[in-house]
Structure 1
Amino acid sequence: MRERKKILVIRLSSLGDVLLTYPLLYILKKKEAESEIHFVVKEQFVDAIRTNPFIDKVLIYSKNQLKELKTSIKKNKYEVIIDLQNNIRSRLLYFLERKAKIYRFKKPGLKKFLLVNFKINLLKENPSISLQYIKTIYPDYNSKNLDLYFHIPQDIETKSLQKISVENLNRPMIGICPGSRHFTKRYPVEKFKTLIQKFLDANFTVALFGGKDDFDICKELEINPSVKNFQNENDLLETASIMKKCSIIITNDSGLMHLSSLLQIPAIAIFGSTVKEFGFFPIYDKSIVIENNNLKCRPCSHIGRSECPEKHFKCMNDINPELIFNKSIELIMSNQ
């Protein structure tokens, strides 16, 4: 009997980029139902993909075990390789595979460069990264109704929810993800404090979410006993379990923004130095982006910076917490 067709998908990092592969994986399995799908990812992002029901095997990318990984790829004799990372590191994994049909995600590097450095916007009609991933293999695919899902094993969800008191489960909860890797993508802490207080005054419980790098910022936002800090050591499944209990999520441009989309939770995404045209906006259609469109200096980067190059940080500082609060209430009311 002929062996099952094997397909290899490569997306090594980062958290958001890995999560954005989910709609493609759904469609891939739907069209290639009898195929075996393997996924290569860096060890620190395994939680983002290991429970995906459409993945048959996860391969770990580690600098210390590259030889073993390359040997495994060679032995599996993949008929199709989908390289969504498309850089030197990912190409070196399969450069000797002559028989495989190879698809590579085409990054709009030049267009990003022109937008960041000369404010020439050739990305106005740029779709979400998730849709771009799909078009890498299925170029005629045009549906904007992406399939959103994120599987959490029942035992993990049950254990995670034990961290929430019965009182908080019975009150509307607002989720806030205050972290992001780069400074210019983070809404200022003092403004988050003002926003949180508005929710507390309106009798909401506030839940804070973040990974290990967000310990300090989440700790600083514990301004009241009704602010529940669920920051953890990068336990994505625990975060997702508790996040599902939130009415909405308020987030920076970060990996947890994309998690909220897969969980189909309405989100308000606060964009600073980055813009929607890069394709990394919330893919859940009930979510919205709040950004300052009155600045000539935006975007100053496609990934974020360690400081504002203009020293004023108006892209974030000019976004009023009152605006975010009002939009949040509107979003909650429209989804009841």
Structure 2
Amino acid sequence: MKEVSEIILNDKRGWNKIVGVWKTAKAIKESHIDILLVPHRSFRSALIAWLSRVPVRIGFTSSEGWFLYTKTVPFSWMIHDAERNLSLLQGIVKEKFKAEKLNMRYAPSAEENVARLMKDFNLEGKTLVGIHAGSAWPTKCWPMEYFVQLISRLQTELGVQAVLVGGGHKDADLGEKICQLSQGHAANLCGKTSLADLMALMKHFKLFITNDSGPMHIATAFDVPTLAIFGPTTRELGFFPYGEGHRVVEVKDLPCRPCALHGGKKCPLGHFKCMRDILPDRVFENAKEMLAEHHNLPTPHEELHK
């Protein structure tokens, strides 16, 4: 992004969770920043801001370290996180802002890598639906067997090619299992793309189906119609797909939702109804409607003979 001139890393791993407070504060101070906007509401973030000695430090009223800021603004759950973070600017001006389209760029080499993958996996000229089946939090993952059923129906009934994406060994292993169980109906690119490659790949997708995860936000940033599956998290937390033309599939009126801000390792109540009650038929029908809204799909017979 051309608007970003410098990135300061805030390492919270291991001992850096403590030592990193002073390291990060020192780096911010040496950058001679005049105004610091802090969307995180943790005491650690507020302490870093205070130690940096930036003249104007703006955070939320609900921050654990609100008293370490020079100004605070009200926090609201009922808006998207992008707009919520923009509201911090009201500590400087009274005008309300709305998030604009992101100007995200990637290296030309990413286009070359994607072109090679498209050729290697025989994806050129096909109608592609991107799928991210993983997440850093297990409870955010729609059941693997549901993804298998969905992918098979996308191919056999709509004639579209599912492309699995994700990073790391965990996503790669999950993608391989889904490909095997769906009997070759999906192309597994998990672990084969960098972050820049994933950004370059997005323009080839007619639809992106995903858990509540990072790739979901990349898809919406590149205007890919996105169908998100929410389990332990809810739209009201503010992390839903931002923009027009996207959908969230979730179990409404389940009293235990949301059980966490970011998900968890296992369902606290042991039933995992927030995900198990979202059946493949429901996701498929939403995907079918979204593809019909945005694209004229070929018949399965036409797609198979490309």
Structure 2-normalised TM-score? 0.80
Kept after mapping to 2: 8 A contact 1:149/1:263: no
Are residues 1:206 and 2:159 paired?
no
**Residue 307 and residue 76 in structure 1: after superposition, are their counterparts in 2 closer, same or farther (change >3 A)?**
closer
**Coordinate RMSD, CA, aligned:** 2.6
* 1:48 equivalent in structure 2: none
Q: Which amino acid aligns with 1:160?
A: V
Residue 315 of structure 1 deviates from its aligned partner by 1.4
Are residues 1:85 and 2:40 paired?
yes
Distance 1:94 1:180 in 2: 30
Distance 1:88 1:145 in 2: 27
Residue 276 of structure 1 deviates from its aligned partner by 0.6
Are residues 1:55 and 2:7 paired?
no
Kept after mapping to 2: 8 A contact 1:105/1:133: no
Kept after mapping to 2: 8 A contact 1:230/1:239: no
Structure 1, unaligned runs of 5 or more: 1-51, 110-121
* 1:330 equivalent in structure 2: 289
Structure 2, unaligned runs of 5 or more: 65-74, 296-306
* 2:260 equivalent in structure 1: 301
Instruction: State percent identity of aligned pairs.
Output: 26
Kept after mapping to 2: 8 A contact 1:269/1:289: yes
SS state of the match for residue 130, structure 2?
Answer: strand
Q: Figure out how many residues of one structure are paired with residues of the other and give that number.
A: 272
Kept after mapping to 2: 8 A contact 1:169/1:245: no
1:314 is aligned, of 269, 273, 276, to: 273
* 1:183 equivalent in structure 2: 138
Residue 156 of structure 1 deviates from its aligned partner by 2.0
Residue 149 of structure 1 deviates from its aligned partner by 3.7
Residue 107 of structure 1 deviates from its aligned partner by 5.1
Distance 2:242 2:109 in 1: 28
Residues 55-102 of structure 1 show CA distances to partners (whole Å, capped at 9, x for unaligned) of: 011122333776554433223221111122243333343424445211
Q: Which amino acid aligns with 1:61?
A: N
**Residue 227 and residue 99 in structure 1: after superposition, are their counterparts in 2 closer, same or farther (change >3 A)?**
closer
Distance 1:69 1:184 in 2: 32
Kept after mapping to 1: 8 A contact 2:227/2:246: yes
Kept after mapping to 2: 8 A contact 1:128/1:279: yes
* 1:157 equivalent in structure 2: 111
Distance 1:176 1:108 in 2: 35
Are residues 1:127 and 2:102 paired?
no
Q: Which amino acid aligns with 2:225?
A: P
**Residue 106 and residue 54 in structure 1: after superposition, are their counterparts in 2 closer, same or farther (change >3 A)?**
farther
Summarize the alignment of residues 59-78 of structure 1 with structure 2, pairs less than 5 Å apart.
Answer: 59-62=8-11, 63=16, 69-78=24-33
Summarize the alignment of residues 139-288 of structure 1 with structure 2, pairs less than 5 Å apart.
Answer: 140-142=94-96, 146-165=100-119, 167-201=122-156, 202-212=158-168, 213-222=170-179, 223-232=182-191, 235-288=194-247
Residue 159 of structure 1 deviates from its aligned partner by 2.2
Distance 1:163 1:327 in 2: 28
Residues 33-63 of structure 1 show CA distances to partners (whole Å, capped at 9, x for unaligned) of: xxxxxxxxxxxxxxxxxxx211011122333
Kept after mapping to 1: 8 A contact 2:10/2:24: yes
Residue 284 of structure 1 deviates from its aligned partner by 2.3
SS state of the match for residue 232, structure 1?
Answer: coil
Q: Which amino acid aligns with 1:288?
A: R
Residue 211 of structure 1 deviates from its aligned partner by 1.6
Distance 1:253 1:261 in 2: 12
SS state of the match for residue 59, structure 1?
Answer: coil
